[in-house]
Structure 1
Amino acid sequence: MTLTRLIIQIPCLNEADDLPATLAALPRQIPGIDAIEILVIDDGSHDDTSEVARRWGVHHVVRHRRNRGLANAFQSGLDMCLVAGADIIVNTDADGQYEGADIAALVQPILRGEADIVIGDRGVGKNAHFGPIKRRLQRMGSSVVRKLSGTDITDAVSGFRAISREAAQRLTITTEFSYTTDMLIQAGRKRMAITSVPVRTHPATRPSRLFTSIPRFISQTGVTIVRAYTTYNALRVFVGTGMLLTLAGLLPIVRFMWFYVNGDGSGHIQSLVIGGSLLVLGALVAVMGMLADLITANRKLLEATLHKVRRLEERLAQDDGMAEACEKEGEAADILPLVKRKREPARRSR
């Protein structure tokens, strides 16, 4: 019988004080889940976050020697969860913002086969723990992400989310700031099934470590959204920009032609020069769009290859674990040769 394994990953940066309460609030049993494990990603903390995690019985700890950023920590967690054999991955914060008990509701759409990704909706429009400016910014940002990703998610920057194994294998976070919007746009363009469930939140216990000010958060998030959207819609972005430049170039040319027809063209040569320059620039941008579209097609091939490589690595890791278990149990004589035969072709190819 196939067991369903859930791994709850927690990216951390100097969370030694808040981590114990977060770990204590996590569920130990969920209907439909056979095994629950916890993974802590220590993103270059200067305190003893990793030691606190081990003392609390965390099953897996990934430590970065220096801080790489939240997005990189999230991707490291996904990679480790896949190697550890997770069927479902839940990402939550270490500061206790989210209610740990709501993980049971978060994973249900995946268990029922209805979704690949489930976002915890904090109800940003009415959340009492958010200030009026934050609520407004959250709604605006989520609206933009919904349109760009083709999804119907009302809380795009919520870090409380569940991901199926298949979805995690197909995701590769490329931004260096925050994974939330990049992941949604990427998943939406890959036609993954995404839904949301309402979750509870707690008051913030400290300022965010992801950003130092709201303007910085807006600028960084904006860059991430534009970059992610352009990655998967390069032709539309570049050709659209080229068309705008072309239309802008036609205006001064039409102006010059008007004066020229009326016998006053000699004094408006600058309009012709500006218009011609904009037309050339528009054509160049459109050509760049075609090249970018070819690069996007190549990226899809690389992602498909990466997907297969990840599955192969996970299978080899599972085979290694099976071999070690057989040796410990004294069953290597019957099972170990089969595992070795499965591994040999892959190892020779490397």
Structure 2
Amino acid sequence: MKLIIQIPCHNEESQLPDTLAALPRKVAGFDHVEWLVIDDGSIDGTAAVAAAAGADHVIRLGHNRGLAGAFMAGIEASLKRGADVIVNTDADNQYRADGIPAIVAPILAGQAQLVVGARPIDQIDHFSPVKRWLQKFGSWVVRKVSGTAIRDAPSGFRAIQRDAAVQLYVFNAYTYTIETIIQAGRLGIPVLSVPVAVNPPTRESRLIRSEVGYVLRSAATILRVLVVYRPLQVFTTAALFTALPGVAAFARFLWLYAQGQGDGSIQSLVIGAALIAAGFVLFVGGVLADLVAANRMLLAEIRARLLLAEINRRPPE
């Protein structure tokens, strides 16, 4: 059994030595433990520092693909190197590495194929009240959409079993955390959460530039998740909220027309017709988006089969 611990990085030469020094070289249940660093188009010495600090594999991306792109590049590289389980952690040493045995334990026991480390959100001092609320609300939305019991959806500290890793693919360029959980839920991949500890922050988050930016990014991510994975429900709801006022306006016109006052209420007819038409367009858009979502799932399955065939065809690197 091989465990590969992957770390997506972008300009992390100052953080990497401490992060790598904390990683284990032996984990119960595994014969081999290797470290893989993904250099996401860094312009500093990230790759050289990673190699000097003991990383077994350093993957250099030609340009910055973003966190999600680096994560997926690491997953594919780990699979091609024979990983049975992949642990993903952050380069800023946010997550305590001594939690790795805890997040791989459910996979070794056959209880899950994706395990996400749940941070003690209420006990993290540098999280503002707004950020804590958004973390909890975002996780609640993900639980509803994915059908899983995930407690900390934005957490990047997670373990993925080989068969599950082959099936997951991230379409979101911003972050992989939420989308992989929703995909796992839709694909029937068993998902669990385990509590993990965190280290004090050593620098400001690069994904969260400001409180306002974090709120806007989080809202956009949650909305996009709903539109991508529940398009028919989202567009049907929007269609109803748009069309029902139109029906009311149209009914008002008919009632006034029946009373002989239709000439003075033509605006109700125009507004009602426009809103009903807009509601119909939204509903049709939802049907089309639902078909696109089904096509996306088929493409993801084709990709998984091709990746699995490639992995089985070549010896581990």
With the shorter chain as reference, the TM-score category is over 0.9
Q: Which amino acid aligns with 2:264?
A: G
Q: 1:240 to 1:95 in 2, by over 3 A?
A: same
Query: Are the structure 2 counterparts of residues 217 and 170 from structure 1 closer, same or farther at C-alpha, using a change threshold of 3 Å?
Result: same
Question: Are residue 218 (structure 1) and residue 215 (structure 2) matched?
Answer: yes
- Deviation of 1:129 after TM superposition, in Å, equals 4.6
RMSD: 1.6
Match of 2:151 among 154, 161, 168: 154
By relative contact order (CA 8 Å, sep 6+), the higher-ranking structure is 2
Structure 1, 240-249 or 304-313: larger mean CA deviation: 240-249
**1:130 to 1:285, Cα distance in 2 relative to 1, 3 A:** closer
Please report how far the alpha carbon of residue 310 of structure 1 lies from its aligned counterpart in structure 2 after TM superposition.
Answer: 0.4
For the structure 1 residues 238 and 260, does the alpha-carbon distance in structure 2 shift closer, same or farther, using more than 3 Å as the test? same
Structure 2 residue aligned with 1:329 = none
Q: 1:296 maps to what in 2?
A: 293
Point out the more displaced range, 230-239 or 6-15: 230-239
Please tell me whether residue 17 in structure 1 is matched to residue 8 in structure 2: no
Does 207-216 or 108-117 show the bigger shift? 207-216
2:200: which partner in 1? 203
Deviation at 1:137, TM superposition (A): 2.5
User: TM (normalized to structure 1)?
Assistant: 0.86
What is the one-letter code of the residue matched to 1:301?
L
Once residues 219 and 94 of structure 2 are traced to their aligned partners in structure 1, the CA distance between those partners, rounded to angstroms, is: 24
Deviation at 1:239, TM superposition (A): 2.3
Q: Does 1:315 align with 2:312?
A: yes
Counterpart of 1:121?
118
Deviation readout 1:292-311 (Å, 9 max, x if unpaired) = 22222222221221111000
Q: Counterparts of 2:151 and 2:65 in 1: how far apart (Å)?
A: 28
Amino acid at match of 1:220: R
Separation (CA, whole Å) in 1 of partners of 2:5 and 2:230: 32
Letter in 2 for 1:88: V
SS in structure 2 at match of 1:97 = coil
- Are the aligned partners of 1:171 and 1:187 in contact in 2 as well (CA < 8 Å)? yes
Q: In the alignment, is the contact (CA less than 8 A) between 1:70 and 1:210 conserved in 2? A: no
Give CA deviations for 1:94-144 in whole Å, capped at 9, x if unaligned: 111111111011100011111111111111123345333332222222222
Percent of residue pairs bearing the same amino acid type: 48
Report the counterpart of residue 52 of structure 2 in structure 1. Answer: 55
What are the superposed Cα offsets for residues 134-156 of structure 1, whole Å, 9 maximum, x if unpaired?
32222222222222222211211
Do structure 1's residue 79 and structure 2's residue 80 form an aligned pair?
no
Secondary structure of 2:314's partner?
helix
Counterpart contact for 1:182–1:224, Cα < 8 Å:
no
2:274 matched to 1:274? no
Structure 1, 143-152 or 68-77: larger mean CA deviation: 143-152
1:39-118 pair list within 5 angstroms: 39-118=36-115
Pairs aligned (count): 317
Contact 1:125 1:139 (C-alpha < 8 Å) held by counterparts: no
Is 2:68–2:173's contact at 8 Å kept on the other side of the alignment?
yes
- C-alpha distance in structure 2 between counterparts of 1:235 and 1:91, whole Å: 33
Summarize deviations over 1:279-330 as a string: whole Å, max 9, x none. 11211221222222222222222122111100011112228x6xxxxxxxxx
Partner of 1:37: 34
Which consecutive unaligned segments of at least 5 residues does structure 2 have?
A: none
C-alpha distance in structure 2 between counterparts of 1:267 and 1:198, whole Å: 65
Name the counterpart of 2:249: 252
With 74-83 and 236-245 compared, the bigger mean Cα shift is at 236-245
Alignment partner of 2:42: what SS?
A: coil
Q: Which runs of 5+ in 1 are unaligned?
A: 322-350
Alpha-carbon distance in structure 1 between the residues aligned to 2:129 and 2:275: 43
SS of the counterpart of 2:141?
A: helix
Aligned counterpart in structure 2 of residue 230 of structure 1, from 216, 223, 227: 227
Offset of residue 31 of structure 1: 1.1
Post-superposition CA distance 1:201-249 (Å, at most 9, x none)? 1111111112311222222232222223322222222222222222121
